[in-house]
Homo-oligomer: A and B are copies of this chain.
């Protein structure tokens, strides 16, 4: 049976006080007598009274919950972001409702609807690969619920803040580094162009080639639609089968890069001597493989913390009747150079 939790009414009855007084006493309102406060607190503690936050939410029209929609959870970078989000939310006494879109537009729509129905006070979202319409997020803004996008963002949704890392800068640094190590034919294991981060990294790759005066050969861009280890492995094998394999590879993520590494090793080629390799994410696995993988570090936890902080700010703004100004935060990336890309002993 559904056992009943103790309620304010229960307390007030037992104390012969009105619910209002009990409520105020529990919150230490100044104009309640010490005596009453003592009695109320004592009984509340004894009976282990806990306010029903659903009722509070209904009354105060705020749920103290923030919604999070993320493409995947089983992913080092994303789980780091979630961690950052949860830490900030926790400190501010907000709960986190988590949804995984699984990179599916349809799932994302359903998740968004469920979160909106749950009356979350704000939404944090990293957009699925396949998403190219944004009405389901506009609905939040229309309802006065702030939305902050992180990592996979879009500029097609006005009035909402975005937190991104400097993907393009990281990509440029990687390619220039490969060039400095003597690479002249650098391939790119890219992602789906629709995704913001994938696009930026690819643009960075192309920017760098142009700056360096290297040819931009579309045949050197291999598109990993799902950005997986297996795709990295597969496309790299393909490269290796060709008459003239590249002498450097810049991979869109570490996962893809590790797949590439496997293929290169299997083919009996040396890293970095034959093919130098740089990934993206600075996953801690990078130091567990041989050779250690060079990679661009992107601060996941910091991104989560920042996204959550901005969202909370916006929630408070709105509660004080001021429309928040959307902001764009660019977090720095840093190229971590390891063995996989250092050809020359200097």
Whole-angstrom distance from the CB of A142 to the nearest CB of chain B? 7
Q: Is A195 an interface residue (CB 8 A)?
A: no
Q: Is A116 an interface residue (CB 8 A)?
A: yes
Q: Which B residues touch A97, using CB under 8 A?
A: 65, 95-98
Whole-angstrom distance from the CB of A345 to the nearest CB of chain B? 20
Q: Is A258 an interface residue (CB 8 A)?
A: yes
Whole-angstrom distance from the CB of A333 to the nearest CB of chain B? 19
The docked-state distance in angstroms from the alpha carbon of A108 to that of B118 is 24
Query: 1/0 contact trace for A50-71 toward B, CB 8 Å?
Result: 1111110110010101000000
Interface contact B52-A119, CB-CB below 8 Å? yes
Q: Which B residues touch A100, using CB under 8 A?
A: 83, 86
Q: Is A82 an interface residue (CB 8 A)?
A: yes
Within 65-82 of A, Cβ neighbours of B (below 8 Å) are at 65, 73-76, 79-80, 82
Interface contact B73-A74, CB-CB below 8 Å? no
Interface contact A318-B86, CB-CB below 8 Å? no
Q: Is A328 an interface residue (CB 8 A)?
A: no
Interface contact B318-A53, CB-CB below 8 Å? no
Query: 1/0 contact trace for A1-40 toward B, CB 8 Å?
Result: 1110100000000000000000000000000000000000
Interface contact B61-A58, CB-CB below 8 Å? no
The docked-state distance in angstroms from the alpha carbon of A285 to that of B48 is 47
Q: Which B residues touch A82, using CB under 8 A?
A: 73, 98
Query: 1/0 contact trace for A93-114 toward B, CB 8 Å?
Result: 1011111100000000000011
Q: Which B residues touch A143, using CB under 8 A?
A: 3, 5
Q: Is A212 an interface residue (CB 8 A)?
A: no
Not counting A48-B139, A74-B76, A74-B79, a sample of 7 additional A-B residue pairs whose C-beta atoms are within 8 angstroms of each other reads A2-B321, A52-B117, A95-B114, A97-B98, A98-B98, A261-B288, A288-B289
Would you mind naming 25 contact pairs between A and B with Cβ atoms under 8 Å apart? Answer: A2-B144, A5-B143, A50-B117, A52-B58, A52-B117, A53-B119, A55-B58, A73-B79, A73-B82, A73-B86, A74-B76, A75-B79, A76-B76, A83-B100, A86-B98, A86-B99, A86-B100, A95-B97, A95-B115, A95-B118, A96-B98, A96-B99, A229-B288, A258-B288, A262-B287
